[in-house]
Amino acid sequence: MKFVRFEINGSARQGILEGDQVHEIRGDMFGEFTPGTQTYPLSGVKLLAPCVPGKIVCVGLNYRDHAAEVNLPVPEEPVLFIKPGTTVIGPGDDILYPELSQEVDYEAELAVVIAKTARNIPLDQALDYVLGYTCANDVTARDLQRKDGQWTRAKSFDTFLPLGPYINTEVDPLNLKIELFLNGQMKQASNTGQMVFNVRELVSRMSQVMTLLPGDVLLTGTPRGIGQMQRGDRVEVKIEGLGTLHNQVK
From the CB of 90, what's the least distance to Mg ion, in Å?
A: 19
In whole angstroms, how close is the CB of 125 to Mg ion at the nearest point?
26
Q: How far is the CB of 115 from Mg ion (least distance, A)?
A: 23
Nearest distance in Å: CB 177, Mg ion: 18
Using rule CB under 5 A, residue 107 touches Mg ion: yes
Of the pair 18, 158, the CB lying nearest Mg ion is at: 158
Q: Are 129 and 114 in contact (CB under 8 A)?
A: yes
CB 208 within 8 A of CB 218: no
* Binding residue (CB under 5 A) for Mg ion from 134, 192, 204, 222: 222
Nearer to Mg ion, 26 or 146 (CB): 146
In angstroms, the CA 98 to CA 160 distance is: 10
Reference 238, options 174, 190, 170, 173; nearest CA is 190
* Region class of 147: left (phi > 0), else alpha (psi between -120 and 50), else beta: alpha
Which stretch in 33-41, 46-54, 197-205, 219-227 sits in contact with Mg ion by CB under 5 A? Answer: 219-227
Q: Round to whole Å and give the CA distance between 195 and 135.
A: 16
Q: How far apart are CA 27 and CA 14, in angstroms?
A: 8
Question: Is there binding between residue 138 and Mg ion (CB under 5 A)?
Answer: yes
Give the separation between CA 70 and CA 64, rounded to whole angstroms.
10
Task: Let me know: does 210 contact 82? Beta carbons within 8 Å.
Answer: no
Nearer to Mg ion, 138 or 179 (CB): 138
Nearer Cβ to Mg ion (130/237): 237
Stretch that binds Mg ion, among 99-107, 166-174, 176-184, 197-205 (CB under 5 A): 99-107
Only one of the segments 164-172, 188-196, 221-229, 242-250 lies at the binding site for Mg ion (rule: CB under 5 A); that segment is: 221-229
| CA distance linking residue 81 with residue 111, whole number of Å | 14
Question: Which CB, 22 or 136, lies closer to Mg ion?
Answer: 136
Query: Which neighbouring-strand residues pair with 41?
Result: 21
Residues at the site binding Mg ion, with contacts judged by CB under 5 A: 107, 138, 222
